[in-house]
Chains A and B, each alone.
Chain A
Amino acid sequence: MRLSWARALPLRLWGGCGGPKMRGVTGIEWAARPMCRSSSDAPEPPSDHGSQNIPRDEEQGGPAAFAAALEELERAPGRRLGRLELVAAALAAMPALGVARQLDAYNRLLRLLPRGPWVPRGPLHRLFAPFPRQQECGLQVLEQMERYGVMPDAETRFLLLAVFGPRSRPVRKCQRMLYWLPRMLHANPYPLPAQLPPPGLAAACLGLRRIANDPDARLSVYQPQPEQGDNEGSTQPYIVGIQSAEQQELLARHGPEHPVFVEGPFPLWLRSTRLFYYVLRGDPLPPHLREPPPDPERSLYYPLYLDLDLERGPWDDDEFDVNEVEEGPVFALCMAGTGDQRTLAKWIAGLQQTNPVLGQTPVIFRLGDGDSSAGSPGDGDALHLEGSRAAELEPPEVAWGRRAQGEG
């Protein structure tokens, strides 16, 4: 159609009234067309490019294929029509090709857009929401950058200014991204490393260190010996445990007369890897047993306890929190290859080397998230209670999860 202004109007604006329907495919249908090739859908891809080497194996050459396609387009820009559909298709293809986190790809994509024609002419033009579909296209590019945490560059900003003009929605969004994205990227006080180890021993160590969050905690890998019934040299499930010195002291003070519980499995998600951990904990002790009684001969230089009958007033009590629930102490954590009681019993046996009190403390296994009933407490760790299987958890259904896995 010759009506350039008609093309500029949005198709569905303010509930239906919009530009005239064009004969042929509309922009949305263009974008929804399934991709027959992994490269972008140029309306008329030039066919005589024998000099170009598009690598056949797409798995390794994903980014290279994208770069090659962009080079083609830069060389032969194509018609004026279909640029928005081109950009939309390219954006859809980027995650599959593995270039979604590269700023360079977005910049080259933006360079395909025309500079100048989409800049509104004057404040009066700006009043009427000019070039909405074009600006939405720019916004989609920036939104994808935001979703993948890519920071716009000075070059990006320059291109957006050239294509859309100052005070346009993409440029405003770029400014906002430049303000918010660094904050969001630094928001996590415990960031995960960029490359996660595959699920297994290394991931279990990482997960345990994350939960413990204590630089003094000691991580131990217990190597269980094959038992009598198994073959010699069979692979035993790994057991990784973590405990800090304070937890050891607490366990020693917990005493053999109070039982301790092994609970689990609890899930821990590291991006898209799921790990299960088990907890050794005890019930909270009555207040008079919690701390050792004050010893008046403890400090040589100044009194550690004042012998007064005055308590702290309620307005100055900073440690009181209405939402805080009294929980018992956690003595150790572990992650095991298999979650059955025999493996966990081997973990307790390994813990006993550093915590001799576990030899006399009754250990009760509450696997399966608490649906097993606690039997009569006995001595040692040779309890054989019925622990049901852990409830199977389904990973959450998120589309980007699959894409992240596809990137490796």
Chain B
Amino acid sequence: MSGFLVRALRAALPGPAAVRRLRTAAPRPAYAKELFLGALRKEEVFPYPEISNEELQEINQFVGPVEKFFAEEVDSKKIDRDAKIPPETLKGLGDLGLFGMQIPEEYGGLGLSNTMYARLGEIISLDGSIAVTLAAHQAIGLKGILITGTDEQKAKYLPKLASGEHIAAFCLTEPGSGSDAASIQTRATLSEDGKYFLLNGSKVWISNGGLASIFTVFARTEIVEKDGQVKDKITAFIVERDFGGVTHGKPEDKLGIRGSNTCEVHFENTKVPVENVLGEVGGGFKVAMNILNSGRFSMGSASAGMIKKLIEMTAEHACTRKQFNKKLSEFGLIQEKFCFMAVKAYVMESMAYLTAGMMDRPGLPDCSVEAAMVKVFSSEGAWACVSEALQILGGLGYMKDYPYERYLRDSRILLIFEGTNEILRMYIALTGMQHAGKILTDKIKEIKKGNIGLALQELVNKVRDSTGRKVDYGIMEERGGLVHPSLQESGKKLEENVYYFGTTVRGLLTRFGKTIVDEQLALKRVSDIVINLYAMTAAISRASRSISIGLRNHDHDVLLTNIFCSEAYFKNNYALAQLQKYADENLDDYIKKAAKQILEKRAYLCSHPLDRTF
């Protein structure tokens, strides 16, 4: 037991604040990609990442005023009704420094690390429109300048953006191009003297489109390659509204986040100086990918913050309202809903801060897959939890007088923007498959070629797997283990699932090879499993730390973790069983057949139940 304490205390040494070290080696694959090989990299996730005491005090100093601001001066109902954020509120946010949370201090921002950014995101998410406005501004709008900007560009633009004087927007989507980069029609042609580009085109659904003065625009440019071929490639530009030719349409009337300004932006012969190119000409694709992949993890803490507030509000109601002479909180179904919400919030928080902590480590590990997993889990969890909270209130939850319907409408967009959940599932699964495939290719090819020795070994392995095998990744040791003994069961389940998942991925690669890109239903299951695995890891890691250092209510932590791990274990096993060859549980063929018939006729096919033949 003392081993745990020492480990936890040792890990509580001050880590790096917000200084990003230089990247000296190739980025490590971090944790998630290794799961696809059945390998559990414990040094990444155990112990749970911590921040130093100074940092904690610093962040708590920020949290107070922000909470006060949101409690007193933000009227979410009015914002939702008027579909507009009042300028005083925007000014207040700028004064608090919330427009430049991740901008380094030398440019006037707060210079917060990812963890601290996630912490503040918990409070900002209380109002969905403000959260989306701020996210569109800093998580994607000015991230390009932060990541790929030259020093002159940073010095020119970041100070004003940090104070909130200028707002940024991210212009990528066009009417014909959602995630398909090849169909971008906006064009940037170089002028004759080579000093500026002429930008022509229109972008659709741009958050902050009406408020922003600095846009990160992606357009097609012709570049001449080394071998003389002329190609059309995407380039990223920083475009100011003052360059002229930038117009925006009227704000779109949306279902939720109505305060956020979403509109079309048109560029007509906008002159963009050559110095405003982000990265290099023709390198816009990489810039776009880096920007999109880096901002996702904060959705976890934002959703968790919202759900925690919802639990408070809903519990207040459930414990006071009486029906059939019993309080609502005494009914089993209502209790189940509360447990569900608490488990989801706990796991979301754990995943978000684990990912933020991993990203804050020196060496800049590539955590894009983990961030995508956090986004998928949190968005779906938030939608389900808000739905349940509204359900607990019943009819009251449906009325506009109560905020639940606003939360429901605001949380629906979480599943759609920043990469729809379906696309992110494909991303998670395919990136992992790519990584695993690279390492496993040789082995699989050897077996397929007919190497008898290897084939026999595989057979023996399969038999041992099916008859029962002990899996030990070293996280459950007696002394100096990483997982607390009260989480033994959950740890064992995690280990089993990871091992079984590794063998299943091997099997899938053997069966499908690179054509697995077309098997989206199998990939969906793969990504569901790996999201659950990451969630289990995060929850176990956090609960372990919690009970080791003795945080308040640590036994509740352990309880929630055990509940979640048991559920996730069964779901994973079912999904893994579905992924085996000739599995009875696998209904993919039937689903595809039914869908094909429906889409052929483009209608519902069955005759009406009241039809007769004679």
Q: Is the CB of B285 within 8 A of A300?
A: yes
Q: Is the CB of A316 within 8 A of B434?
A: no
Which residues of chain A are near B83, meaning CB under 8 Å?
none
CA distance A310 to B510 in the complex (A): 8
Q: Is the CB of B438 within 8 A of A298?
A: no
Other-chain contact of B430, A181, A298, A306 (Cβ < 8 Å) = A306
Q: Is the CB of B445 within 8 A of A303?
A: no
Q: Is the CB of A312 within 8 A of B512?
A: yes
Q: Is the CB of A304 within 8 A of B517?
A: yes
B571 at the interface (CB under 8 A from A): no
Q: Is the CB of A301 within 8 A of B292?
A: yes
Which residues of chain A are near B437, meaning CB under 8 Å?
306, 308, 310
Other-chain contact of A310, B179, B441, B614 (Cβ < 8 Å) = B441
Which residues of chain A are near B441, meaning CB under 8 Å?
308-310
A313 at the interface (CB under 8 A from B): yes
A95 at the interface (CB under 8 A from B): no
Q: Is the CB of A309 within 8 A of B445?
A: yes
Chain B, Cβ-Cβ closest to A307 = B434
CA distance A151 to B516 in the complex (A): 50
Chain B, Cβ-Cβ closest to A182 = B613
Q: Is the CB of A182 within 8 A of B292?
A: no
Q: Is the CB of A302 within 8 A of B514?
A: no
CB interface residues, A 221-238, toward B, < 8 Å: none
Question: A151-B614, A308-B441, A309-B441 given as contacts; is B179 within 8 A of A300 (CB)?
Answer: yes
A282 at the interface (CB under 8 A from B): no
Q: B430-445 toward A: CB 8 Å interface, digit per residue (1/0)?
A: 1101100110010011
Q: Is the CB of A308 within 8 A of B514?
A: yes
Shortest distance in angstroms between A107's beta carbon and chain B's nearest beta carbon?
13
Which residues of chain A are near B513, meaning CB under 8 Å?
308, 310-313
CB interface residues, B 401-445, toward A, < 8 Å: 419, 423-424, 426-427, 430-431, 433-434, 437-438, 441, 444-445
Shortest distance in angstroms between A179's beta carbon and chain B's nearest beta carbon?
10
A299 at the interface (CB under 8 A from B): yes
B511 at the interface (CB under 8 A from A): yes
B88 at the interface (CB under 8 A from A): no
Shortest distance in angstroms between B179's beta carbon and chain A's nearest beta carbon?
5
Chain B residue total in the interface (Cβ 8 A): 39
Q: Is the CB of B288 within 8 A of A306?
A: no
CA distance A32 to B234 in the complex (A): 85
CA distance A315 to B434 in the complex (A): 22
Q: A14-27 toward B: CB 8 Å interface, digit per residue (1/0)?
A: 00000000000000
CA distance A307 to B427 in the complex (A): 14
Q: Is the CB of A297 within 8 A of B614?
A: no
Question: A152-B614, A182-B614, A298-B182 given as contacts; is B434 within 8 A of A303 (CB)?
Answer: yes
CB interface residues, B 239-280, toward A, < 8 Å: none
A295 at the interface (CB under 8 A from B): yes
A404 at the interface (CB under 8 A from B): no
Which residues of chain B are near A309, meaning CB under 8 Å?
441, 445, 514
Which residues of chain A are near B591, meaning CB under 8 Å?
none
CA distance A295 to B184 in the complex (A): 14
CA distance A304 to B523 in the complex (A): 13
Shortest distance in angstroms between A291's beta carbon and chain B's nearest beta carbon?
13
B181 at the interface (CB under 8 A from A): yes
Shortest distance in angstroms between A246's beta carbon and chain B's nearest beta carbon?
15
Chain A, Cβ-Cβ closest to B218 = A300
CA distance A302 to B526 in the complex (A): 15
Which residues of chain A are near B460, meaning CB under 8 Å?
none
Q: Is the CB of A313 within 8 A of B180?
A: no
Which residues of chain B are near A300, meaning CB under 8 Å?
172, 179-181, 285, 288-289, 292
CB interface residues, B 495-520, toward A, < 8 Å: 509-517
CA distance A369 to B444 in the complex (A): 50
CA distance A311 to B445 in the complex (A): 10
Q: Is the CB of A303 within 8 A of B285?
A: no
Shortest distance in angstroms between B519's beta carbon and chain A's nearest beta carbon?
9
Residues of A within 8 A of B (CB): 151-153, 178, 181-182, 185, 215, 295, 297-313, 315-316
9 contacting pairs across A/B (C-beta < 8 A): A152-B614, A178-B614, A185-B613, A297-B233, A300-B285, A305-B514, A307-B434, A308-B441, A311-B515
Add 14 more A-B contacts to A215-B602, A300-B181 (CB < 8 A). Answer: A178-B614, A181-B614, A297-B234, A298-B182, A299-B181, A300-B179, A301-B419, A308-B437, A310-B510, A310-B512, A312-B513, A313-B448, A313-B510, A316-B511
